[in-house]
Amino acid sequence: MVGYPNKKSSYETKGISAARRGMTLEHDINDTNKYYLDTDRAAIYKKPTPITIVNVDYKSRETAKITEAYFQVPSTTDYNGVYRGKYIDFEAKETHSRTSMPLSMIHPHQLTHLAKVVKYGGIAFLIVRFAVYDETYYVPAEMFLNKLKELKARSVKYEWFKENCVLIPYNFVTKVNYLNVVDTIIDGGDF
C-alpha cells in the first residue's frame, strides 16, 4: 500500500487531463474571459469571425437568415480588450505537434497587427498550447517577432517555448489565467 496516495493523486491528475483533452483552447479562453468579466476584472472578448455576407433572406421580420456568406482572411487577432487601463491583444493557437508550432497557423496580417499593437503601447502576445503535453504558454509578441526574424525553418520548436516563455497555470475557474502573467508585465516584473 505504500505510495497509494501518490498513485491516486497521479491517477486523478491524469483523469483531469483526459477530461480536458476534448476541450479546446478557445473554449478555455472564452471561459476564462467570462470569469474575468463576471468577477469585474477585465473586459476581453473574442472577436466574431469575419465574413462577407452576400445574401440575406428577410422573410420573417424578427429573424433575418443569411443564406450566402464566405469566411474572410482575418486582418487582426482573435481577442482584444481592456485591463488595468491597458489595451490587451492576443492570438491563441493550439497545436497537436510534439516538436514545434508550424508558422502556417498564423496569418502574416496577424503578425503585422501584433507588431503595430506593440508599437502603439498595447500589451500584445500569443497564447500557444501544446495539446500533447497539456502545456499553455504566454508568448510576448515582441519576443516572438524577434524569434521569427532569425528563424530559418517554417516552425518554432517546442523547446524554444519551454525555455523562453511563461507556462500559464490551469485551474478550474480560470482555465488559462493569462492576466496573472500580464500583471507581472504591467508591474514591471522581469519576464
Residues that bind a second copy (CB under 8 A): 37, 40, 42-43, 45, 47-51, 53, 63-72, 75-76, 80-89, 113, 116-117, 119-122
Element (H, E) at 108: helix 108-119
CB-nearer residue toward a second copy: 74 or 164: 74
For the bound state, the minimum distance from the C-beta of residue 177 to a second copy, rounded and expressed in Å, comes to: 17
For the bound state, the minimum distance from the C-beta of residue 10 to a second copy, rounded and expressed in Å, comes to: 40
CB-nearer residue toward a second copy: 68 or 183: 68
CA–CA gap between residue 140 and residue 45 (Å, rounded): 19
Which burial class, exposed, middle or buried, applies to 32 when counting CB atoms under 10 A from its CB (0-12, 13-18, 19+)?
buried
For the bound state, the minimum distance from the C-beta of residue 168 to a second copy, rounded and expressed in Å, comes to: 21
Give the position of cell 507581472: 184
CB-nearer residue toward a second copy: 89 or 137: 89
Neighbouring C-alpha atoms within 13 Å toward the C-beta of 90: 26
